[in-house]
């Protein structure tokens, strides 16, 4: 005898199975490929993004003006400037997923002649490389992409905005502009006192280990999606460690290195290598078309 409960179960069996199959089919589409990082910090919301980006732009222009006055700013036809901008052009389209404001940023990439082993990306997409990091480390394109991706990731994840937001709680009011920056570059402080008081210098702002780890992973994914070999992250940090003999480079002073960091990159390579392989194959397929008359 078939009970009412059994009849109900038989009636429900097909729809339930169908729902389970549908969910299984949808899950891969919803699953995100790439690295996994946490949510953006709520401290960033304490500082208006537009205000911080305007401050970054003013500081960036001052850096470029100072470099130009010292004849240290790379001209547009400089081979390394062209190289950096070409790499950035490949990476930037993949930034929008990480920060919707990135599609509105006025991206800039410049090269400053200096022995500093340093590079940065300020809020709003303002990128600077120093010749020292390229020449001293003899960076390949893949390694440049890893450095650039790392620095861009700081801007996308709004680590500077987060740090400034935290400073409003811990230290109250202080200058957002650049007392530290003006002292470092020899610029009158009045030039750098742009926005209201927050206490962060965007160029010398130090990020925590969690921020650095996040930037490593997001930067590695950006580079991979753009067709650059993410395994270059390992060789990059090996070169950094070698350059760290004696006085640490400026880039390392805020970017802790070591075997732990390399191990984390290696552990996440399986998540980004498929992205790199697809991008590499796509680039290879487009190459003949680009050469056609």
DSSP string, 243-290: HTSSSPPHHHHSS--SHHHHHHHHHHHHHHHHHHHHHHHHHHHHHHHH
**Token match 């805020």: residue?**
254
**Dist CA 279 CA 140 (whole Å):** 18
Render 142-203 in DSSP notation, one character per residue. HHHHHHHHHHHHHHHTTHHHHHHHHHHHHT-S-BSS-HHHHHHHT--HHHH--SSB----TT
- 151 has catalytic annotation: yes
- Give the angle 229-270-98 at the CA atoms, nearest 5°: 70
Catalytic annotation, pick one of 108, 143, 151, 214: 151
Provide the 8-state DSSP code for 107.
-
Give the count of beta carbons closer than 10 Å to the beta carbon of residue 208.
Answer: 13
Active site residues: 151
């Amino acid at each position: 005898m078939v009970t009412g409960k059994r009849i109900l179960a038989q009636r429900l069996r097909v729809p339930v199975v169908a729902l389970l199959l549908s969910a299984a089919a949808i899950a891969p589409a919803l699953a995100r490929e790439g690295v996994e990082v946490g949510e953006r910090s709520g401290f960033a919301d304490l500082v208006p993004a537009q205000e911080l980006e305007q401050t970054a732009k003013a500081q960036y222009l001052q850096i470029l003006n100072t470099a130009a006055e010292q004849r240290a700013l790379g001209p547009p036809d400089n081979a390394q400037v062209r190289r950096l901008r070409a790499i950035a052009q490949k990476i930037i389209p993949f930034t929008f997923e990480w920060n919707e404001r990135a599609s509105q940023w006025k991206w800039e990439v410049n090269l400053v002649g200096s022995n500093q082993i340093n590079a940065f990306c300020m809020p709003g997409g303002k990128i600077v490389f120093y010749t020292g990091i390229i020449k001293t480390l003899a960076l390949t394109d893949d390694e440049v992409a890893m450095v650039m991706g790392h620095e861009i990731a700081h801007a996308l994840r709004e680590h500077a905005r987060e740090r400034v937001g935290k400073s409003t709680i811990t230290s109250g009011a202080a200058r957002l502009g650049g007392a530290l920056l003006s002292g470092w570059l020899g610029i009158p402080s009045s030039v750098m006192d742009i926005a209201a008081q927050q206490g962060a210098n965007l160029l010398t702002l130090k990020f925590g280990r969690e921020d650095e780890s996040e930037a490593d992973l997001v930067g590695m994914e950006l580079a991979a999606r753009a067709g650059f070999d993410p395994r270059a992250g390992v060789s990059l940090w090996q070169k950094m460690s070698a350059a760290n003999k004696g006085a640490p480079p400026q880039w390392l002073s805020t970017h802790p290195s070591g075997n732990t960091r390399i191990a984390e990159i290696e552990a996440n390579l399986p998540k980004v290598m498929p992205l790199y392989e697809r991008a590499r194959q796509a680039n290879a397929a487009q190459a003949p078309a680009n050469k056609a008359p």
